[in-house]
């Protein structure tokens, strides 16, 4: 088919939309395959970011190969970039509708995001292609169970306005009798007169946890109840003053890695009025010592309210805890009532901390809309499960990006924001620096956006497989310049990460 230009009457050839694509240069095909094979080796070695770079190279060279997209989706899943994994898996199945791993990957990503109905649809599609695949049958059964549970919960759901506080109505009398067989630490006081937390109890509790023992349910519930009462009094954005002659330490995600938390305290000292800390969300899930982590942090918060601060992470939420292990761990070590108590406690956690009016610390990142102020964060009604959009959602889920402006999140929730967004927000609010967590970093921390944004992550060798270092950052009050300490993982008891998580995730 041809047309003529009105000026010179030279024919212009218009390609036939239905014509087969021109054959690729064999050298380009070979280069793409080589990139894919090298990426596969990096994936096996758990170098997922590097693997993504090489899968991307293979895709750029030969975008018509479904396996390149599917493999990159698998690497994104390992890095918890579920939104990017969904997009790649969709592209893989678009290229080859019979490419079963494309449906697998998309189903895995949807399941990890708690989108069980979408995951079920993908797995059923895959089952039509491979009905006898044992891993697929297992995942399909698990997903069907979650969809049934979700429908049951939706049928029984009480409107938010009618919900009753579990902690306010909690009857602890059934736990008042401390059995003679209990040899662990005891709080001062009694059930009748009230219990008091002491330094001696907290230190003994930490040692009990180190020995892989639990504390009595009566004391565990008491810690939760007292901590909830304290946290409820705090604003959604807490202002902290660091005197010129004092310092302040910020830690990122700990994710149930209790023995690495103890190592932080061995390196940097226990929390005290002279050694204050902020733990910036994601205390629980993934690691299998989440109960020990959260009780240790809450106990120090009660012991030294002005010396240990806690901000909420995206994993301090009902949807995450159901999937990633915290619910199962609490039920195994204590009971199901405590799960409900923790949900209410997590909803009382502040969203951000401002240090000396110069450094803002929150778990995720910045916001979908312009002109958000610190007062807007202070006014957020945080006493609820995280919504799917708005300031609270972004504070828990957003990530920085090298791309200017705001772009869709690779996680499938929140957004990605560029250095221009960071600069504009900080300048408008008279701030110098943004500190956030939420992402694994090879060295435990990363400085981005022209030095005005820091990510700090404090769970080394995350999930016993990432090989990353952990880090914390210390500020001195007189100059507020960040000083970084990195550290490696320490040995822990032979309990694998995700031991209490949904069994679906074991195959991801």
| 349 burial level (CB within 10 Å; 0-12, 13-18, 19+) | buried
Predicted confidence (pLDDT) per residue in 345-355, tens digit: 999 999 999 99
Sign of the alpha-carbon torsion through 255, 261, 263, 269: positive
pLDDT of residue 14: 52
Instruction: Report if residue 169 sits inside a domain.
Output: no
Q: Given pLDDT bands bounded at 50, 70 and 90, which one contains residue 12?
A: low
- Tokens 């509708």 -> residue: 97
**Could you tell me what percent of the chain has a pLDDT over 90?**
87
* Percent composition of the chain: helix, strand, coil (DSSP 3-state, to 5): 45, 15, 40
Domain boundary among 156, 179, 213: 156
Predicted confidence (pLDDT) per residue in 35-45, tens digit: 999 999 999 99
468 and 376 within one domain: yes
143 and 249 within one domain: no
Instruction: Report if residue 216 sits inside a domain.
Output: no
pLDDT at residue 139 above 70?
A: yes
Q: Give 310's strand partners.
A: 279
pLDDT at residue 58 above 90?
A: yes
Let me know the angle formed at the C-alpha of 56 by 54 and 61, rounded to the nearest 5 degrees: 100
Q: Given pLDDT bands bounded at 50, 70 and 90, which one contains residue 5?
A: very low
Tell me the pTM: 0.91
Predicted confidence (pLDDT) per residue in 398-449, tens digit: 999 999 999 999 999 999 999 999 999 999 999 999 999 999 999 999 999 9
Predicted confidence (pLDDT) per residue in 166-177, tens digit: 999 999 999 999
Residue 151 sits in a domain whose CATH number is 1.25.40.10
| 86 burial level (CB within 10 Å; 0-12, 13-18, 19+) | buried
Predicted confidence (pLDDT) per residue in 219-255, tens digit: 999 999 999 999 999 999 999 999 999 999 999 999 9
Residue 318 sits in a domain whose CATH number is 3.60.21.10
Domain boundary among 156, 177, 195: 156
| 38 burial level (CB within 10 Å; 0-12, 13-18, 19+) | middle
Structure tokens of 231? 């946290």
DSSP state of 133: -
Instruction: Report if residue 380 sits inside a domain.
Output: yes
How far is 149 from 146, CA to CA, in rounded Å?
A: 5
Domain that holds residue 134: 26-156
Average pLDDT along the chain: 93
Structure tokens of 193? 């007169």
**Rounded average pLDDT over 8-12:** 51
Write down the catalytic residue from 304, 315, 363, 492.
315
Number of domains in the chain: 2
pLDDT of residue 162: 72
The runs of H, that is alpha helices, within 403-480 are: 419-428
246 and 135 within one domain: no
148 and 262 within one domain: no
pLDDT at residue 76 above 70?
A: yes
Bridge pairing between strands 399-400 and 415-417: parallel
Instruction: Report if residue 438 sits inside a domain.
Output: yes
pLDDT of residue 6: 43
Instruction: Report if residue 136 sits inside a domain.
Output: yes
How far is 396 from 409, CA to CA, in rounded Å?
A: 13
152 and 245 within one domain: no
442 three-class SS: coil
270 and 135 within one domain: no
How far is 62 from 118, CA to CA, in rounded Å?
A: 29
pLDDT of residue 504: 87
**Rounded average pLDDT over 264-290:** 98
pLDDT of residue 4: 40
234-246 burial, b for 16+ CB within 10 Å, e for fewer? bebbbebebeeee
Respond yes or no: is residue 315 known to be catalytic.
yes
Q: Given pLDDT bands bounded at 50, 70 and 90, which one contains residue 20?
A: low
pLDDT of residue 7: 45
Among 341, 70, 354, 381, CA closest to 224: 341
Least confident stretch, 9-23, 36-50, 163-177, 323-337: 9-23
Instruction: Report if residue 353 sits inside a domain.
Output: yes
Q: Given pLDDT bands bounded at 50, 70 and 90, which one contains residue 458?
A: very high
**Rounded average pLDDT over 385-390:** 95
pLDDT of residue 158: 74
311 three-class SS: strand
How far is 313 from 457, CA to CA, in rounded Å?
A: 12
440 and 306 within one domain: yes
291 and 151 within one domain: no
pLDDT at residue 1 above 60?
A: no
Instruction: Report if residue 201 sits inside a domain.
Output: no
Domain boundary among 117, 135, 156: 156
The DSSP line for 2-46 is: EEE-TTT--EEEPPPTTSPPPPPPHHHHHHHHHHHHHHHHHHHTT
The alpha carbon of residue 42 and the mean position of all alpha carbons in its chain are separated, in whole angstroms, by 23
149 and 243 within one domain: no
pLDDT of residue 101: 92
What's the number of CA atoms in the CB half-sphere (13 Å) around residue 274?
Answer: 1
Among 94, 102, 146, CA closest to 125: 102
452 and 359 within one domain: yes
Instruction: Report if residue 192 sits inside a domain.
Output: no
């Amino acid at each position: 088919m041809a047309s003529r230009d009105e000026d010179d009457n030279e024919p212009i050839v218009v390609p036939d939309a239905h014509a087969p694509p021109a054959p690729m240069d064999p050298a380009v095909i070979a280069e793409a395959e080589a990139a894919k094979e090298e990426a596969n080796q990096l994936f096996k070695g758990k170098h997922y970011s590097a693997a993504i770079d090489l899968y991307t190279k293979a895709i750029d060279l030969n975008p018509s190969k479904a396996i390149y997209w599917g493999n990159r989706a698998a690497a994104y899943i390992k890095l918890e970039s579920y939104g990017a994994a969904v997009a790649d898996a969709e592209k893989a199945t678009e290229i080859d509708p019979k490419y079963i791993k494309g449906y697998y990957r998309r189903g895995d990503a949807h399941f990890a995001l708690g989108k069980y109905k979408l995951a079920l649809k993908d797995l059923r599609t895959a089952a039509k292609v491979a009905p006898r695949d044992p891993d697929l049958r297992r995942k399909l059964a698990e997903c069907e169970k979650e969809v049934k549970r979700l429908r049951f919960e939706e049928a029984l759901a009480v409107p938010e306005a009618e919900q009753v506080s579990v902690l306010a109505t909690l009857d602890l009398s059934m736990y008042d009798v401390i059995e003679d067989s209990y040899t662990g630490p005891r709080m001062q006081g009694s059930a009748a007169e009230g219990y008091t937390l002491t330094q001696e109890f907290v230190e003994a509790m930490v040692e009990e946890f180190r020995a892989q023992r639990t504390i009595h349910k009566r004391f565990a519930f008491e810690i939760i109840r007292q901590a909830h009462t304290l946290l409820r009094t705090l604003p959604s954005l807490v202002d902290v003053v660091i005197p010129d002659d004092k310092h302040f330490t910020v830690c990122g995600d700990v994710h149930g890695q209790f023995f690495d938390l103890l190592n932080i305290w061995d390196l940097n000292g226990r929390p005290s009025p002279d050694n204050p800390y902020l733990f910036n969300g994601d205390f629980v899930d993934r690691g299998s010592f989440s109960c020990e982590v959260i009780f240790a942090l809450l106990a120090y918060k009660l012991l030294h309210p002005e010396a240990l601060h806690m901000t909420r992470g995206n994993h301090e939420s009902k949807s995450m805890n159901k999937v990633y292990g915290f619910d199962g761990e609490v039920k195994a070590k204590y009971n199901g009532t405590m799960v409900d108590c923790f949900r209410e406690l997590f909803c009382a956690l502040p969203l951000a901390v401002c240090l000396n009016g110069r450094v803002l610390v929150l778990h995720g990142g910045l916001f979908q809309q312009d002109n958000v102020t610190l007062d807007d964060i202070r006014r957020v009604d945080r006493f609820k499960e995280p919504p799917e959009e708005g300031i609270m959602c972004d504070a828990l889920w957003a990530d920085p990006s090298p791309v200017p402006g705001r772009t869709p999140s690779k996680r499938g929730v929140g957004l990605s924001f560029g250095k221009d967004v960071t600069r504009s927000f900080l300048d408008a609010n008279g701030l110098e620096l943004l500190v956030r967590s939420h992402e694994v970093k090879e060295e435990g921390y990363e400085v981005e956006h022209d030095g005005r944004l820091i990510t700090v992550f404090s769970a080394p060798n995350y999930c016993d497989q990432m090989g990353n270092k952990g880090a914390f950052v210390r500020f001195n009050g007189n100059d507020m310049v960040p000083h970084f300490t990195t550290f490696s993982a320490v040995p822990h008891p032979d309990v694998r990460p995700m031991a209490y998580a949904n069994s679906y995730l074991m195959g991801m």
